[in-house]
Chains A and B, each alone.
Chain A
């Protein structure tokens, strides 16, 4: 903070010759030069990001002009006749993300509560460290385990069990191939749970101690104090962690590509193979013959970018709001 105010003073214009000499001295000292150079590098990040958006916009022009809004509602994905619609991929992305969130949110929130409210500090730190490592595992490794461990497990154990218990529901009916929405959702859940845990834990730790003490002083059990006081206090930040995790699930490519089955169909059954936006880009980009095909894939990339942009922006706002203490319930 003091450096900014010092800067402001230095930049104040003054017409005297002494000031001119001081300015010259600063140039010779290199301060202004260093300022400008670092400024250029900082600006380059804005430039790179704008260039990214521009390139996506530019290279998807052919597809945007050819299909317009129809791109969003068409279910046909036909490279041979060059007719492209994004709906099956948007559907697949939404379903897999939703499944992963349904699994990861309770698991992650529970673990975060354990780490912030119950575990002694050193155990909590050790577990958090291990969970950070889980977040560092490359997604292709998750894909590898997905193919050779989760898919067989799904085919032989999880799938039949779910069918036996909930087979009357539409989402748990139909043939079970092992690959599909549910498998992708499970793998995604494991990948995003570390993000929910680490952000939620930080947020829960910022809840003032008095809140817990007051609740327990009124006779609440530990769980009641946590669930009815601490968690509601931190809910904005927890929502932030959910959006962060959701952005990650939506953009995740390799692990999903390897277990979703890669079939652009809209099916109610979670056992059915599907396709996501990221997966179709990964699979078909190098094979895309013809500029319209490539352009359609790049338009899908633009869609993906916009979705994650919005989700990340929301997440950041929510987490910021909690950390500034604005997260308490009214």
Chain B
């Protein structure tokens, strides 16, 4: 009787532990399936025209998404200019100056902001920029993405500043440097690698965001000079082309998907590897 129970327990052990392994590999294999589908379908459709030409009108085949590629870059630059400094400086406050209660509130609010669904961020940018301006614009898209950049940058900055040893602060101050001079010339350079990683990861994340752009940057079949007009972006293009009923548009959606995924994953792999090799303290 005891023996049967022991065999049961041991086989349950083997079966369940095997299942956990299967689950882990199943999840990882999804990543490779995604990559496989995009490389196969996107690679088939990707050509030089994709990077150099404007979208063709409905009914004509061919054309490309040059305007969306440039558009995505413009939006990212705006987002970086607006969001990165705020995240960085606020992060410095939390790590170097912050008291107890106020810093806690800021930290909590940051997490809250990070958890806001991206579509709600779109509504926010809409009411903040589109409603007063009365039209969709690059500015509005940049504001939506810029706000989304702040929380990740802030938390990365704070975390990496905390990982700088206190002896560095004490050393600099013992040499007579004032506090902000210590921060600017000793602490920030010491944490530079990690902070830049955090910034790049936050940009990589918003680069793939679609929902906040739908009714801020909107979309555009043509070039969008300046910052006052609606502008095309790769994620929105993928969305509109994928749900459209045209075969040729689906082909282009795959190509755009491959380009977007390639850029996002490259940024992620590159920064994470650089960080682990550079001996940075913790992952973001």
Which of B21, B98, B204 meets A42, CB within 8 Å? B98
B159 to chain A, nearest CB (A): 14
Contacts of B194 in A (CB 8 A): none
Which bracket fits the contact residues of A?
A: 35 or more
Contacts of A129 in B (CB 8 A): 272
Contacts of A72 in B (CB 8 A): none
Contacts of B21 in A (CB 8 A): 114, 118-119
B24 part of interface (Cβ distance < 8 Å): yes
B81 part of interface (Cβ distance < 8 Å): no
Alpha-carbon distance A247/B115, docked complex (angstroms): 8
B280 part of interface (Cβ distance < 8 Å): no
B92 to chain A, nearest CB (A): 5
A312 touches B115 (CB 8 A): yes
B274 part of interface (Cβ distance < 8 Å): no
Closest B residue, CB atoms, query A25: B178
B50 part of interface (Cβ distance < 8 Å): no
Residues of A242-282 contacting chain B, CB below 8 A: 247, 250-254, 258, 278, 281-282
Alpha-carbon distance A282/B37, docked complex (angstroms): 26
A45 touches B90 (CB 8 A): yes
A316 touches B111 (CB 8 A): yes
B147 part of interface (Cβ distance < 8 Å): yes
Residue-wise interface mask of B (99-114) relative to A, using a CB-CB cutoff of 8 A (1 in contact, 0 not): 1101101101111110
A67 part of interface (Cβ distance < 8 Å): no
Closest B residue, CB atoms, query A44: B86
B16 touches A227 (CB 8 A): yes
Q: Is the interface of B mostly helix, strand, loop or mixed?
A: helix
Which of B112, B117, B238 meets A253, CB within 8 Å? B117
Alpha-carbon distance A236/B133, docked complex (angstroms): 47
**B-contacting 9-mer, from A30-38, A79-87, A158-166:** A30-38
Residue-wise interface mask of A (140-152) relative to B, using a CB-CB cutoff of 8 A (1 in contact, 0 not): 1101110111000
Contacts of A148 in B (CB 8 A): 37, 41, 242, 250, 254
- Knowing A138-B210, A278-B211 are in contact, say whether A305-B116 is a contact too (CB < 8 A): yes
- Knowing A44-B90, A134-B31 are in contact, say whether A49-B210 is a contact too (CB < 8 A): no
Which bracket fits the contact residues of B?
A: 35 or more
A113 to chain B, nearest CB (A): 5
Which of A42, A131, A251 meets B119, CB within 8 Å? A251
Closest A residue, CB atoms, query B238: A140
B246 part of interface (Cβ distance < 8 Å): no
B67 to chain A, nearest CB (A): 18
B94 part of interface (Cβ distance < 8 Å): yes
Contacts of A56 in B (CB 8 A): 120, 123-124, 127
Contacts of B96 in A (CB 8 A): 3, 38
Which of B106, B205, B218, B283 meets A286, CB within 8 Å? B218
A136 touches B180 (CB 8 A): no
- Knowing A144-B242, A224-B13, A282-B119 are in contact, say whether A114-B86 is a contact too (CB < 8 A): no
- Knowing A38-B97, A41-B89, A253-B211 are in contact, say whether A140-B272 is a contact too (CB < 8 A): no
**B-side interface residues toward A, CB under 8 Å?**
9-10, 12-13, 16-17, 19-24, 26-28, 30-31, 34, 37-38, 41, 85-86, 89-90, 92-94, 96-100, 102-103, 105-106, 108-113, 115-120, 122-124, 126-128, 131, 147, 150-151, 154, 166, 169-170, 178-181, 183, 204-205, 207-211, 214-215, 218, 235, 238-239, 242-243, 250, 253-254, 257, 260-261, 264-265, 268-269, 272, 283
The 5 closest A-B pairs by CB, nearest first: A138-B208, A251-B117, A38-B93, A34-B180, A29-B178
